[in-house]
């Protein structure tokens, strides 16, 4: 399944109110944006690109950006986590376990529930420790 298929699935989940937002991953050198974030950036008229252009978010390792957006008369919650610099010879699906754990803690701090996470971005599995307990919807 490609990212476009994933976003169709995410769009449907958002429209059906199955999820209230997404946990996203962005690397410092993902320009143009890549992955699910890129597709959602397109869906939301370049909102995430604009935040990066204004240097409100860089993608530095461990950096987090909470971006609530209005869509279809409801507020959606997006938490974007910086993955640092991704070497050109590294795969995008490099291990992001520590970043994911940090992101889960941030979700707890913000008391966000009903969130989704993409295995294509995070390279995690459905039974990842902490994902189920927090009610994360894992999309492939």
Interval 83-139: pLDDT, tens: 898 876 555 445 567 788 888 889 889 998 889 888 778 776 555 656 667 778 877
pLDDT, mean of residues 46-57: 93
**pTM given for the model:** 0.83
Q: Is the pLDDT of residue 35 over 80?
A: yes
3-state secondary structure 52-110: HHCCCCCCCCCCEEEEEEEECCEEEEEEEEECCCCCCCCCCCCCCHHHHHHHHHHHHHH
CB half-sphere exposure, 15, CA atoms < 13 A: 7
Cα 36 to chain centroid, rounded: 7
Q: What CATH class is the domain 3-139?
A: alpha beta
Dihedral of the alpha carbons of 93, 140, 66, 114, in degrees to the nearest 10: -150
- Nearest residue to 113 (alpha-carbon basis) of 83, 80, 62, 79: 79
Predicted confidence at residue 47, as pLDDT, reads: 94
Higher-pLDDT residue of 8 and 72 is: 72
Distance from C-alpha of 35 to C-alpha of 33, rounded to nearest angstrom? 7
Give the residue extent of every domain in the chain. Answer: 3-139
Return the ∠ at Cα 60 (arms to 54 and 64), rounded to 5°: 75
Sign of CA dihedral 22, 27, 131, 66: negative
Distance from C-alpha of 55 to C-alpha of 31, rounded to nearest angstrom? 13
Distance from C-alpha of 36 to C-alpha of 25, rounded to nearest angstrom? 8
40-49, 63-72, 73-82, 93-102, range with the lowest pLDDT: 93-102
Predicted confidence at residue 125, as pLDDT, reads: 56
Higher-pLDDT residue of 80 and 11 is: 80
């Amino acid at each position: 399944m490609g990212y476009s298929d994933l976003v169709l699935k995410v769009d449907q989940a958002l429209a059906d109110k199955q999820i209230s937002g997404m946990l996203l991953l962005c690397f410092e050198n993902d320009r143009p944006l890549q992955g699910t974030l890129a597709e959602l950036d397109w869906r939301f008229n370049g909102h995430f690109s604009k935040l990066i252009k204004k240097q409100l978010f860089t993608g530095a390792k461990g950096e987090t950006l909470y971006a609530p957006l209005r869509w279809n008369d409801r507020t959606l919650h997006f938490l974007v986590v910086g993955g640092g610099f991704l070497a050109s010879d590294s795969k995008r699906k490099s291990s992001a376990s520590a970043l994911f754990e940090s992101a889960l803690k941030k979700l707890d701090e913000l008391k966000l529930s009903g969130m989704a996470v993409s295995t294509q971005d995070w390279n995690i599995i459905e039974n990842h420790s902490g994902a189920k307990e927090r009610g994360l919807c894992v999309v492939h």
